[in-house]
Amino acid sequence: MQPSITKDIKKTLDDIKKDDKHIDKISDPYENKQISKDKTTAFADITYNVSQTSLKDDSRDNIKSHLKDLRDNHNVQTELTGTGMTSTEVGGNSELVGIIVAFVVLLITFGSVIAAGLPIISALIGLASGVALLAY
């Protein structure tokens, strides 16, 4: 890698860390020897001080913005991997529709609102207790 690109990659990594309070550290690919023998590939690990589920979109956008600038200015290919780099929405309309359809099927099967509601209620209690155990 050219010295100017190396310098700009280091600056980009420093800027990413500076602009995001949730980043604990970013490994330097040049100090940690995370560069391929032909010097065409390097990688840096970003460690956050929050869990991946607590990571906000602005953290992802910060990284993507800085890497886009690096790509545009130096024709460098960049990639993002890891579970924290993809935005996942929890819940949504599809889950609500699924619960309603399940309730209707159970209502037809059991022929009683109470009998149909018990499996749904017990599933929701199980889900809530599982999430509570994972949260603490």
Q: How far apart are CA 30 and CA 42, in angstroms?
A: 8
- Which range scores top for mean pLDDT: 18-27, 33-42, 124-133? 124-133
- Residue 60 burial (CB < 10 Å; 0-12/13-18/19+)? middle
Q: pTM score, two decimals?
A: 0.58
Domain boundaries, the chain: 3-85, 93-135
pLDDT score at 100: 93
Q: What is the 3-class SS of the chain, one letter each residue?
A: CCHHHHHHHHHHHHHHHHCCCCEEEECCCCCCCCECCCCCCECCCEEECCCHHHCCHHHHHHHHHHHHHHHHHHCCCCCCCCHHHCCCCCCCHHHHHHHHHHHHHHHHHHCCHHHHHHHHHHHHHHHHHHHHHHHC
Summary mean pLDDT of the chain: 85
Average pLDDT rounded to a whole number, residues 14-34: 87
Which two three-digit tokens encode residue 34?
């995370």
C-alpha of 12 from chain center: 21
Instruction: Tell me the per-residue pLDDT of 85-112, one tens digit each, with 9 for 90 and over.
Output: 765 566 678 888 999 999 999 999 999 9
Instruction: Tell me the per-residue pLDDT of 44-84, one tens digit each, with 9 for 90 and over.
Output: 888 888 887 777 788 888 888 988 888 888 878 888 887 76
pLDDT score at 90: 61
pLDDT score at 125: 96
The least confident of 6-10, 92-96, 121-125, 128-132 is 92-96
Length of the chain as a residue count: 136
pLDDT score at 87: 59
